[in-house]
Every structure is written in structure tokens, then in C-alpha cells.
Structure 1
Amino acid sequence: MAAGMDWDDLRLFLAVARAGSLTGAGRALGVRHSTVLRRMAGFEARLGLRLFDRGPGGYALTAAGRELLEEASEVETRLVALERRLSGRDQRLTGTVRIATLGALAPWLAEALAAFRGLHPGIRTEIAISHETVSLARHETDIAIRISRNPPDSLIGRRIATLVHGIYGARDRLPLPPEATLAEAPWVTYAQGRADLPQARWVAANIPDSQVVLRTDHTGMLIQAVRAGIGLGLFACYLCDADPGLVRLRTLNGLGFDLWILTHPDLRDTPRVRVLMDHLAAALAARQPALTGQMPAMDPRQRGEGEWTGSAD
């Protein structure tokens, strides 16, 4: 590696290049904005190069920065692959396993991890909860619990369940419409930043935009809005079936998304990763009735008359 730079420099540079801002890079690295600014300025000074053009839209790579990005990405790929291979040779049932998961699964995972702790007290866990995709390939986590139609072929793991979704309304606060007029009711859905979610795509395709009265990027806020009677919402059934304030009006099959637990092939034989994956997979599989919408109905209308795969009209 050239004089004047080390891996920490390159890691910082890659974070700024990918985030396009000091704030985003600091969030990714777990350091302050001011720390990123100081270290980036020092790195550029040591190289005698300007790597970014600073503008109101963020940090844009210069020609030198684009060249360094290509080389630094290759260095990162090689170092991460080496780290994974070395981690995969660790046969001890001790150490730390990192898990990336969904916030909605936190109560179930806490119960599962409490039981796991009793079985394997030498294994510690670090949990990252985010709706952003955390990279197993770059060794940002060891285990990922994701909702996906088709996980990358480069990962290994198992499918826990095919998720079932439903349309929900408030039990007491909203006059619940008959099936034929669901599209005429007020609705809540995800904001543009999460428009790629299957629930958001279904609402966009089946509900007139004029009927959408609230948008947010936070699932918990959407559920609270439905419970408060602001409008109807479309959610995975495991999020809402046990809520006494909500009623499932219709069941939607065919959104085609599964819950997966995944890891990188280089870690498949690492004992601490393998035993934790097996434990979490079994714990989540035990929640099949909730994940597949088979919880006891909270209201006679919850099940509807069959499965709905068409439009809301």
C-alpha cells in the first residue's frame, strides 16, 4: 500500500464515497461528523490530492477519487474475504456473532437469545436493527435475517416462512368498509423512500392516490396510524394479528416474499455462527402460525371469504 495511506484511510474514504456525505459516512463508521472531516482532510493532505469536490449536494468524487475508489474497493474485497476465511477457521464456541435483523422481530429474538445464552454463555451477540440491507459479503454482519423474494446466490441459509399479508383497520375508531369499498376508504402507506416494499407497491397499484392520507417510512408509525383510525393499512400478518386494536379485513396471498436467515459460505462451518443460526432458525420456525397468518382470528371478519389476490375494487 502506498506511503501516506493505510486501511483505516481507505475505509474512511470508501464510507464517504458511498454515503456522499460526511454525516452518512460517520453514521456508517460510528464516529462523529467532525472526526470524518478531520481525518478526510488529513488523508487528502498526506496524498497531496483532492479526492472530493464539496458542494451543496454532498461530496462528489474527483477524477483522482474515482481512480482510488476502484482500487480501494478491490483492496476491501480481498481483505474482507481474508477476514471471513480466517473467521471460518475459528472452531471455538466463544466470541461475538453479529446479527442484522428487522425491528419487528426484536421481541421474538430477545426470547430466543435468552435461551441461547443459557446454552452457550461464551458466545456474545451484537444486533443491528435496520430496514437497510447490511452486507454479508463485506463482513458487516455474520447472520442476516431478511425478507426477500430471492436472496443472492452467493449466500447460504434457509427459508423460515412465506409471509402472509393482510389489510387492517382499527377495531373501534374507524367505520370499517365492506370488502367492495376498501379502495374508497382512507389509507396509510410507506413514503417514497420505501416505495420498493411489496406492501407499498400493492397499495400504489390498487388504491387511488387520492385515498392515501398519510405516508411515513416507519412501520410502527403506520400501525399506530391504523390503530388510531386514520386509515387502512397493508401489513405482514405477524405484525398485527395479535393486536386487539386491529382487525384483519382481508388476507392477501401472492406478494411472494419470504423470511430468510442467511450467512456467508465462508462462515458456514464456524461453530459459533452455525449453532446460533440453527437456534434462531428453530425459534423463528416455531412462529410459523404468526408468520403465515394462522393466528386465531380476533374478529369474524378477519379471515374474509377466501383469499384475495386481485385488486381492491
Structure 2
Amino acid sequence: MNEKKIDWNDLKLFLAVAREGGLSAAAQSTQRSPATLGRRMYELERNMERELFIRHDRGYELTTDGKTLLKELTQVESQIYRQTTSPNKSSRPLVKISAGTWTTLSLIKNLDLLVGSPADILLRFISAEKVLDISHREIVIGIRNQRPKEDSLVCRKLARVEFAPYATKSAPDSYIKVLADTPSARWLQNNIASDDIAYEVNNPRNSLDLALENKGIALLPTFIGDNQTALQRVGNIVEELGHDQWLVTHHEDRYLPEVRKLIQNIGTILKQS
């Protein structure tokens, strides 16, 4: 292989085609036409003297050489980006993490352990109760309540999550209801009468805020409630709300140094919470 003929821009286009599985999808993310991408992939194969794709009607499938190249490029992608990016831009790689309200709060409270100090990673927290798409790179790392089924995703099992009611010692015997599409919010809707509701909030975090203000009972994950010195459990663990927690990322992104670091640190934080 004549390495002088290989342009990093062609390798970046290869990454897009390989990850998207075809020219049309890659064209949207690269802002290149499918015809241009097809031509550049042919040129890359010719210059590398390797067949990287099997081309068929339903897309571009990687050959053994293509899979090897994808793995190699993924491992060095972030380092190459740092060397080629403009000096006026941040040299810290951006990693987007999606988790629910409570897991996001736990990660933020352990931020120094998560990224170190000073931080060498630019984190973007996306606190969302819905599941965002990792396969299409809406996020890089997701914390989910169910094991993923997509072949392109890899996961790591974290600690089990349990829920219980919490309040201050002198709080009224009524609940703070969360108006959200979450299992705990649905449990409150189905099990607590309207006369036993003190307040309603649309953000789960506000239920904790009101409980700390002595305004009622909040249904919280135990890794949050047990760490609040002003609160105590005022009832048993709600068994039907217990679930396993999974750390999920794309199988290609797990090789990036910044992603590997975060996966390790998130696992440490959420297992000790």
C-alpha cells in the first residue's frame, strides 16, 4: 500500500459510509452526493489495494479488510482529529451522555471522578426520560433501563435501581406527583389517590426540591434518596419499580480513548451510588 496516496478526508468518508451502511445515509452526514462518495470509495480501494466493501442493492457491506480498517481508524480517530483541528477550536473531544434525571444528577455530583480535574473531555449532558438514538449518533453514551437489542450497540450492566418514598420528619403525609412518562410517575398515577397529592410537577427533579422543602413525599430512586441527609424513607421499596441499569454505546465508539475512560468512570460512580 502506498500510504502517500491516502487522504485522511477519504478515510473520514470511509468511516461515514461504513457506519451508515450505504451511500445515501452517509451523504446526509457528510454533505457529499452519493455519486461522489461512491467514486471516492472506489479510489480509496484502488489506492489501498484492498476491497473494502461488498456492494449490493441494500447498501454497502464491509469485507474483512473493511472491518479491519474500520476498527483501526476508530481507535485513532480522536487522536487524528486533535492533531488536524484548528488551534482556535477546543482540543477536548465532545462526548454526549444521555441519562434520566436521577442518573444525570448522580453523575454531576461526581463530576471530578467522571472526567478528572482539569477535565480533558468536553461533556454534554442530555437529561431525557426518552431513549435517544445511539446508532445514528444522537448521543455517544446512554444510560438505559433495558438491555439494548440493536446489533450495533454494546452494553455493560450497572447496579440495580430501586425506588422508595422519602420525606422530611415533619412533612405532610401526601405525595408529590410527577407528570411525566416514566414508570415511577405511572405508579403514582395508579396507586395514589388525588386527595393524597400535595403538589404536581412536570420535572422529576422538582419532586426532590419540594421534599427537601418539607412539602410532601417524593418517590425517589434509593441512590438519590439515601444520600439526602434531610430525608428519610417513609415506606417500603416499591418492588415493581426495581430494574437493572445498562450503560450503552456504539460498538465502534467504545474504542475511542475518551469513551473508554468515561465507561470505566461511569461504571465506578453508578455502582457505588
Asked if TM exceeds 0.5, the reply is yes
Show structure 1 runs of 4+ deviating over 6 A.
none
- How is 1:148-163 mapped onto 2 (pairs within 5 angstroms)? 148-154=145-151, 155-163=153-161
Structure 1 counterpart of 2:265: 279
- Secondary structure at the aligned position of 1:239 is classed as helix
Structure 2 counterpart of 1:299: none
Are 1:161 and 1:258, in contact at CA under 8 Å, matched by a contact in 2? yes
Structure 1 counterpart of 2:194: 209
Structure 2 residue runs of 5 or longer lacking an equivalent are: 1-22, 31-59, 61-69, 83-91
User: Could you tell me how far 1:160 is from its partner in structure 2?
Assistant: 0.9
Identity %: 19
Matched residue count: 194
- Secondary structure at the aligned position of 1:258 is classed as coil
Structure 1 counterpart of 2:256: 270
Tell me how far apart the structure 2 counterparts of residues 212 and 77 of structure 1 sit (CA, whole Å).
50
User: Could you tell me how far 1:239 is from its partner in structure 2?
Assistant: 1.4
- How is 1:1-313 mapped onto 2 (pairs within 5 angstroms)? 75-76=24-25, 88-90=74-76, 96-100=93-97, 101-102=99-100, 103-115=104-116, 123-131=120-128, 132-146=130-144, 148-154=145-151, 155-174=153-172, 185-191=173-179, 194=180, 196-250=181-235, 251-285=237-271, 287=272, 290=273
- Secondary structure at the aligned position of 2:216 is classed as coil
Cα RMSD (Å) of the superposition? 3.0
- The CA deviation string for residues 32-79 of structure 1, in whole angstroms up to 9 with x for no partner, is xxxxxxxxxxxxxxxxxxxxxxxxxxxxxxxxxxxxxxxxxx944775
Counterpart code for 1:106 = L
User: Could you tell me how far 1:210 is from its partner in structure 2?
Assistant: 3.0
Are 1:149 and 1:256, in contact at CA under 8 Å, matched by a contact in 2? no
Moved more, 238-247 or 267-276: 267-276
Shift of the 276–233 alpha-carbon distance from structure 1 to 2, 3 Å rule, reads: closer
TM-score relative to the length of structure 2? 0.60
- Secondary structure at the aligned position of 2:121 is classed as strand
- Secondary structure at the aligned position of 2:241 is classed as coil
Structure 1 residue runs of 5 or longer lacking an equivalent are: 1-73, 175-184, 291-313
- The CA deviation string for residues 109-160 of structure 1, in whole angstroms up to 9 with x for no partner, is 4022343x57xx7x523222312433211112222233x1343434212111
- The CA deviation string for residues 266-301 of structure 1, in whole angstroms up to 9 with x for no partner, is 22333332233123223332x1xx4xxxxxxxxxxx
- Secondary structure at the aligned position of 1:283 is classed as helix
